[in-house]
């Protein structure tokens, strides 16, 4: 896992900072974006192996970011996060190309397992 890096995108700064710290402590290099626009800039500058993306954000929503990522960086797997259990968002996100959908609050080991599976399956994915 130390061969890949994660981009966490969530407008809840405390949540995303804590999650990044927990992943970093497990040897998973992690970057943070708190807006969709920042996420797209970070991906363009230094593409991560996976993006973990909140669905509900002010401004550019997670689903809008997902659409842009699929158009410009189709090789990067995207996991969607939501604190609100909307089956419509889940279905739309999966149709738009997300590899999986997780509900907050997260279990860190579940997140790591989903990220590992997604990165391994991605074209040119890292093999552990």
Identify the weakest region by mean pLDDT among 20-29, 35-44, 76-85: 76-85
Angle between helices 62-72 and 36-45 (to 10 degrees): 20
Domain assignment present for 127: no
* Buried b or exposed e, range 40-73, using 16+ CB within 10 angstroms: bebbeeeebbbbbbbbbbeebbbbebbbebeeeb
**Domain tally for the chain?**
1
Domain assignment present for 75: yes
Domain assignment present for 70: yes
**Could you report the per-residue pLDDT of 28-49, keeping only the tens digit for each?**
999 999 999 999 999 999 999 9
pLDDT computed for residue 127 by the predictor? 40
Distance, in Å, from the CA atom of 9 to the CA atom of 95, rounded to the nearest integer, reads 20
Domain assignment present for 10: yes
CB of 67 closer than 8 Å to CB of 96: yes
pTM equals 0.91
* Residue 110, domain CATH: 3.40.50.2300
Cβ-in-10-Å burial (0-12, 13-18, 19+) of 102 comes to middle
Range of the domain at 89: 6-121
């Amino acid at each position: 896992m130390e061969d890949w890096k994660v981009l966490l995108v969530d407008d809840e700064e405390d949540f995303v900072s804590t999650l990044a710290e927990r992943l970093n402590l497990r040897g998973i290099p992690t970057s943070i974006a708190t807006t969709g626009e920042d996420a797209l800039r970070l991906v363009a500058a230094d593409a991560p192996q996976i993006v973990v993306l909140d669905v509900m954000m002010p401004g550019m929503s997670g689903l809008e970011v997902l659409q842009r990522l699929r158009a410009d960086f189709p090789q990067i797997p995207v996991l969607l996060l939501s604190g609100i259990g909307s089956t419509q968002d889940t279905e739309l996100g999966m149709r738009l190309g997300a590899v999986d959908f997780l509900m907050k609050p997260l279990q860190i080991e579940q997140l790591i397992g989903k990220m590992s599976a997604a990165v391994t399956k991605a074209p040119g994915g890292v093999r552990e």
